[in-house]
Structure 1
Amino acid sequence: MATISDAWELYANLVLSSSPAYCIRTETGRWNNHIVKYFGSTHLVENITNKNLLSFRAALVKKRLSPQTITHCLSLLRRVLHRAQQWDLLDAKLPNFDMPKFDNKRVRFLTKSEANTLLVELSLKSQLWHDISLLALHTGLRAGEIFSLRPSHFDQPNSALYIFETKSNRNRSIPLNATARHILKANCAGSTDFVFKEHDRQIKNVNRIFSTAVQTCQFNTPTQDRRQRVVFHTLRHTFASWLVQAGTPLIVVSQLLGHKSLQMTSRYAHLAPTQGATAVKALEQFVDYVNIGGPL
């Protein structure tokens, strides 16, 4: 009788294998660290019930996982079971997946002073992580996108960076300013595989050097709301926040970030409350005088 592990093996080989490398690592990690330890030998037909799913969710909560991580685990399990049903491994109605409700949108971004403080601290600890962090601030790239960069992605003559196999599955081109060009040019020199490497290997995860630098800068406190804590992804939010504050339209910011929809970028709208007034004021250049109810 087929087990959940059997279904996972098929899913990993037939579906997940065609995903980007970082996605394979992440999903495999979720399965091995959380799902297989709880459901690994469970028979698909007999024991996948609503009660078992609630027990599984409770077990994840006890591990003190974030609501988002719990949702990702449940979502992965649901996808595997759905495929098992398609492949005739599971001849039963799928149980209900009661997903946690949460607002996980990070709102924290760095001020110019905080960014400079962090970069100075990083430069004292690691030039590599200083360069990676500075590039994130000037491009808005995700950590995985930076770690996957190859010299061939850097179009120096046209000052552009081409991003492939992104989280949103949308390839995009990012224009580069002088700072970003300098970082890429310096780190591409002599590299034939990845732009940024540690111990001559591709970087897989954010190094503790970054979190230690954040700790030294005293940006976080133990009781702080996790959405307010400074992590590497904060650099991406800082990139977007600074652009909006500088008057960049949300649609342009959305394109640079590679968001699937403008709704994802709307979280930054409050940073430019005067853009609407500025926009309608611009209409005055087209009409000098309108006699409605007397002189203006």
Structure 2
Amino acid sequence: MTFAQVFRDTYLPAERLNKSKASCDKEEGFLRNWIEPVFGDKPLRDIAPFDLERLKKRMLDAGKSPKTTNYVLGTVRQVFNFARRHGLHEGENPVRLVKKPTSDNRRLRFLTRAEAVRLLEALRERSQDLCDMALLSLHTGMRAGEIFALTWMDVDLERRLLTLRDTKSGKNRIAFMTGDVAVMIQARAAERMDAHGLVFPDRNGKKRVEVSNVFQIVADSLGMNDGITDRRQKLVFHSLRHTYASWLVEQGVDLYTVKELMGHGTLAMTERYSHLAPDTLRRAVRVLEAGLKRDKVGQVVNLGGQRQEAHYEP
């Protein structure tokens, strides 16, 4: 059986029982646009790492990001794994032998205090819900999905705590309300319909699945993305979480504390913000320098074999 036959006849029908329609449609698009033109008509046993290198090169040459290219290679890997489990292929999975393209796709954009105020004011004019969610992300670092999943059972106004459950890292964590967030949550609490329901339901009372495009419309109307071509620098909703971490570091909060507040799995994920704390780093070196100078005052040192009293200016 060719790769395309396995994909369409067996893999995709099975995946539609376990994955969302959007995910399956995306993978089908990968087959049609990228995989099939390279080796879709080849039997699985004849597909080699070289074919995958051709696929990778074709995508990168077409301007596709390493992230998208990895998604396509991941789809190929899943098809081979599926075929092995169902006795349609006995050989090795060739994707294992292909090096993944890498690049730094992390977003770099964060807002100044003045920009944040302008954005919140403009959002409030269009949507109070969207303004409240933006404020929450700016002041707690919560992801959009964490905001959508927040229920009133997770809100402790007395201690100003929010419990975030089943986060991206797979662990629960606590978010701490600022005064502005507490006021906003209190106002929403006065109007809530269901004491056990969502804090930010959609207009039908259901859980939201994405940020309204009104956010992007407002950000663009304020000129916050004018002239920006690097997508990592474009202002999107996730930039608000990034802004929260950036503000913390700029105020001198240590990276380990920022890591815990952000719910990062490793400190390496937090180190992207370290360059925002030059004053903090300089102060640390000055503290070290002052200590060294204190130790040297009155210290006896050996210069040229002679014992001399060293006197250093502090």
Backbone CA RMSD of aligned residues:
3.4
Task: Compute the displacement of 1:247 (Å).
Answer: 0.9
The aligned residue for residue 236 of structure 1 is 241
TM-score by length of 1: 0.81
The aligned residue for residue 93 of structure 2 is 94
Structure 2 residues without counterparts, runs of 5 or longer: 300-309
Task: Compute the displacement of 1:116 (Å).
Answer: 0.8
The aligned residue for residue 7 of structure 2 is 4
* 2:68 aligned with 1:34: no
| Pair 244,26 (structure 1): closer, same or farther in 2 beyond 3 Å | farther
Task: Compute the displacement of 1:160 (Å).
Answer: 1.3
1:147-226 equivalent positions in 2, closer than 5 A: 147-188=148-189, 189-191=192-194, 192-200=196-204, 201-221=206-226, 223-226=228-231
Which is further off, 61-70 or 242-251? 61-70
| Pair 254,81 (structure 1): closer, same or farther in 2 beyond 3 Å | farther
- For residue 166 of structure 2, give the secondary structure of its aligned residue in structure 1: coil
Write the letter of the residue equivalent to 1:75: G
* 2:68 aligned with 1:69: yes
| Pair 253,49 (structure 1): closer, same or farther in 2 beyond 3 Å | same
| Pair 284,103 (structure 1): closer, same or farther in 2 beyond 3 Å | closer
Task: Compute the displacement of 1:123 (Å).
Answer: 0.8
Task: Compute the displacement of 1:195 (Å).
Answer: 1.6
Which is further off, 178-187 or 45-54? 45-54
The aligned residue for residue 248 of structure 1 is 253
Task: Compute the displacement of 1:86 (Å).
Answer: 5.3
Aligned-partner Cα distance in 1 for 2:86–2:179? 52
Partners of 1:119 and 1:130 within 8 A in 2? yes
Aligned-partner Cα distance in 2 for 1:44–1:152? 54
Q: Which has the larger radius of gyration?
A: 2
- For residue 197 of structure 1, give the secondary structure of its aligned residue in structure 2: coil
TM-score by length of 2: 0.77
| Pair 65,289 (structure 1): closer, same or farther in 2 beyond 3 Å | closer
Which is further off, 268-277 or 36-45? 36-45
Task: Compute the displacement of 1:274 (Å).
Answer: 2.7
Number of aligned residue pairs: 288
Task: Compute the displacement of 1:11 (Å).
Answer: 6.4
The one of 274, 277, 297 aligned to 1:269: 274
- For residue 162 of structure 2, give the secondary structure of its aligned residue in structure 1: strand
| Pair 184,294 (structure 1): closer, same or farther in 2 beyond 3 Å | same
Point out which structure has higher relative CO (alpha carbons under 8 A, 6+ apart): 1
Task: Compute the displacement of 1:52 (Å).
Answer: 4.6
Partners of 2:249 and 2:277 within 8 A in 1? yes
Partners of 2:15 and 2:24 within 8 A in 1? no
Partners of 1:259 and 1:265 within 8 A in 2? yes
Structure 1 residues without counterparts, runs of 5 or longer: 18-23
| Pair 37,241 (structure 1): closer, same or farther in 2 beyond 3 Å | same
* 2:256 aligned with 1:257: no
Which is further off, 253-262 or 270-279? 270-279
